[in-house]
Amino acid sequence: MAVRASVLGGRSLGLGLLLLLVAVAVAAALEVKRPRGVSLQNRHFYEENIPFTCLDGSKTIPFHEVNDDYCDCRDGSDEPGTSACPNGSYHCSNAGHRSEYIPSSHVNDGICDCCDTTDEYNSGATCLNTCKEQGRKERETLQKMAEMAKEGFKLKQQLIEDAKKSREDKQLKLAELQKEKANWEIQVESLRTLKEAAEKPEQEAKEVHKNAWDEVQAAHNLEKNKAKAAETFKELDDNEDGFITMNEIQTHAELDSDGDGVVSEQEAETLLGGASHVDVASFQEVVWAGIQDKYKSEAVTETPIVPVVPVEGGADSSREVDHEDHRKDEDEDDYGEGQDDGVGDDDSEDDGEEEEEEEEEEKTSIMH
């Protein structure tokens, strides 16, 4: 539809220019008798020997009063060839060129307004008829415009064809890309399915191993917690009778629950699960969970002795020797203790290594 409209538009423009050229030629060839200043279109209003009626219908006058240099009609239509009416219009025939209207006031004013010089018929002005030359120039201009319009129309048609072809090529390319995309999506989905199928046994094995390892860790932590509970039981069992009583609980102020710094009998009984005393099994099952976060071990940690800094001069200098001797004694003691601690550290390291070896053996047994 767009191409058809463009074709019609181009044809209409060329036809219009052709008709204009024909009209100019016809105007040059025809010269019909009529009153001065009247156009061919209005010739039928001005019939000789017939009374003239103003074009606005306001008045009818004898025909001999037309162009008598006296304005009778209000619209000035009775004086088309004179300057009598201020609102009248004079028609220039301009044979060989375009006809035109000029104000009646320009008639016989000494200035040539019409190219055929007819507006200055009684002014004495010397005018040259330039209508043929102007008509020739205008026809040449119109011819050039027609040729330009024709070339523009051809160029427009070419652009339309190029755009249409480009659009079709892009649509084909888009269809190919969409097809390739669909194929790639199918391949990706197939590979994803294969990947999930290949990873499934591994994921299941990892899950089994993790669950087994979590169970081992839970059992190991449970044993450690039981060992810690047993150790705490021994510390609380002051009389070593195999039972922990309320009195023994009351000796640990950190177990106070109401914040007054003292463990009352009621608080001690509550901590013991409502009993007056418990054995080690009941302690581990009932009591230990409630006190393990608050309980502080009775094991005493030795605080190292800070040496005194010697002061220079006077009586203090005599003390410096004593301090040095004292430091030597402490260094010797520390050396002996350090040796003992070293042995203890070795034992601790050995215990840690044994625990790591046990964990590795457990992991290996679970994997197998």
As beta bridge partners, residue 89 has 103
245 φ/ψ angles, rounded to the nearest 5 degrees:
-105, 175
Confidence of residue 198 (pLDDT cuts 50, 70, 90): very high
Kindly give, in sequence order, each residue whose CB lies less than 8 Å from that of residue 8, ignoring residues fewer than 6 positions away: none
Q: Are residues 138 and 98 in contact, defined by beta-carbon separation less than 8 angstroms?
A: yes
Q: What is the pLDDT of residue 1?
A: 46
Q: What is the pLDDT of residue 261?
A: 79
Q: What percent of the chain has pLDDT over 90?
A: 48
Q: What is the pLDDT of residue 147?
A: 93
Q: Are residues 38 and 101 in contact, defined by beta-carbon separation less than 8 angstroms?
A: no
Confidence of residue 35 (pLDDT cuts 50, 70, 90): very high
Q: What is the pLDDT of residue 39?
A: 92
Encode pLDDT of 227-249 as tens digits: 888 888 888 888 888 888 888 88
Confidence of residue 315 (pLDDT cuts 50, 70, 90): very low
Q: What is the pLDDT of residue 188?
A: 96
Rounded to the nearest integer, the mean pLDDT of the chain is 80
Residue 252 DSSP SS3: coil
Q: How far apart are CA 72 and CA 75, in angstroms?
A: 9
For tokens 């009416």, what's the residue?
A: 85
**263-273 mean pLDDT:** 83
Higher pLDDT, residue 20 or 338: 20
Confidence of residue 298 (pLDDT cuts 50, 70, 90): confident
Residue 155 Cα distances to 150, 288, 334, angstroms: 9, 99, 107
Q: What is the pLDDT of residue 23?
A: 53
User: For the whole prediction, is pTM greater than 0.95?
Assistant: no
Q: What is the pLDDT of residue 24?
A: 46
38 φ/ψ sector (left φ>0, alpha ψ -120 to 50, else beta):
beta
Q: Are residues 273 and 287 in contact, defined by beta-carbon separation less than 8 angstroms?
A: yes
- Say which DSSP state 287 is in: I
Q: Is 121 exposed, middle or buried (0-12, 13-18, 19+ CB in 10 A)?
A: middle
Nearest to 265 by CA among 290, 281, 282, 248: 248
Q: Are residues 73 and 55 in contact, defined by beta-carbon separation less than 8 angstroms?
A: yes
Confidence of residue 172 (pLDDT cuts 50, 70, 90): very high
Helices 131-236 and 2-29, axial angle in degrees (round to 10): 160
Q: How far apart are CA 256 and CA 263, in angstroms?
A: 5
Q: How far apart are CA 76 and CA 79, in angstroms?
A: 6
